[in-house]
Structure 1
């Protein structure tokens, strides 16, 4: 596994799982989920389902079934509504999104997510990419479960110091997304 791949998998999985108070059910939406599944298996007591990155498969997922959704599916308004539907009342979503340089596309996506989530924050995956975290209840830096983050074994990148640092953004990002990012 190359460096970018293990960093990506660790950051896509451990950031939401160490933010949510008690994650039990996780849905991964990906056509290449094996690395993320391996990271989820480092946590005890979490059931994981995987579906292909296909909107038609997402339509068949039960309502309020998941604590965390980790998605690589391209997201439009319909997909974002489905994420909200399948997440429970404390649910947390991590998804790929356009580059932060694509301000219009990101603002549109964040504004739609703002109808469903209390907190919407981009974060650095550590490999020159960012993901978007949307949470109905938990703040990724204020609510980090430190003992969970510190007790994980066999990690190559993620730790309890990297977690909050991943949410630090430069001033040009803060200014561009002022009023859109909900933190």
Structure 2
């Protein structure tokens, strides 16, 4: 997979799902390429936290609109992500392969305590990311104007955004009642 696909999809899908993101938290040990993508959105303040629970504890309640998370997410991390997100907050994160049903079922169960929408989305290969939102739906509420105004992208666009959420029937059946869309 080309190296630009992952950071573009990790950042622009949640950024164009949120109505008006102003504060973005990047949780990563190597945040540079994610921060570069966030910087394409004018007027957005980027905060970086190392991929640790201790760093996440330092972020103020409700102070973040979008979280881009490369850390492993367990119940404690999910609780803190929920705490720091605003009322319309959106998070994108890595997760186990969709073939690892047990691991994903546990994660999705934890996230369901905090988010109305929880949906996997595909990159250019079989790898998937996960989007969780407190309010906005990634295909129904995409901000087309924001997505169309992004310059210099090599992969992400307004057609790729909703298409990334299309899943084959065996995935839909496997995760029926677990994925919230």
Common fold by TM > 0.5: yes
Measured in 2, the distance between the counterparts of 1:81 and 1:69 equals 13
| SS in structure 2 at match of 1:99 | coil
| SS in structure 2 at match of 1:4 | coil
| SS in structure 1 at match of 2:2 | helix
Measured in 1, the distance between the counterparts of 2:51 and 2:163 equals 29
Query: Does structure 2 retain, via aligned residues, the 8 Å contact 1:26–1:46?
Result: yes
| SS in structure 1 at match of 2:124 | coil
Matches for 1:103-122 after TM superposition, within 5 Å: 103-122=101-120
Q: CA deviation at 1:127?
A: 4.0
| SS in structure 1 at match of 2:109 | helix
Matches for 1:32-111 after TM superposition, within 5 Å: 32-111=30-109
Q: Are 1:176 and 2:174 matched, yes or no?
A: yes
Q: CA deviation at 1:128?
A: 3.2
Q: CA deviation at 1:102?
A: 0.7
| SS in structure 2 at match of 1:56 | helix
The RMSD of aligned alpha carbons is: 0.9
Q: Are 1:26 and 2:4 matched, yes or no?
A: no
Measured in 2, the distance between the counterparts of 1:80 and 1:160 equals 29
Measured in 1, the distance between the counterparts of 2:135 and 2:39 equals 24
| SS in structure 1 at match of 2:170 | helix
Q: Are 1:136 and 2:134 matched, yes or no?
A: yes
Residue 155 of structure 1 is matched in structure 2 by 153
| SS in structure 1 at match of 2:92 | strand
Measured in 1, the distance between the counterparts of 2:72 and 2:35 equals 20
Query: Aligned pair count?
Result: 181
Q: CA deviation at 1:162?
A: 0.2
Gap runs ≥5 in structure 2:
none
Measured in 1, the distance between the counterparts of 2:41 and 2:127 equals 24
Measured in 1, the distance between the counterparts of 2:140 and 2:57 equals 33
**TM-score, structure 1 length as denominator?**
0.96
Out of 8, 14, 35, the position equivalent to 1:16 is 14
Gap runs ≥5 in structure 1:
none
Q: Are 1:5 and 2:3 matched, yes or no?
A: yes
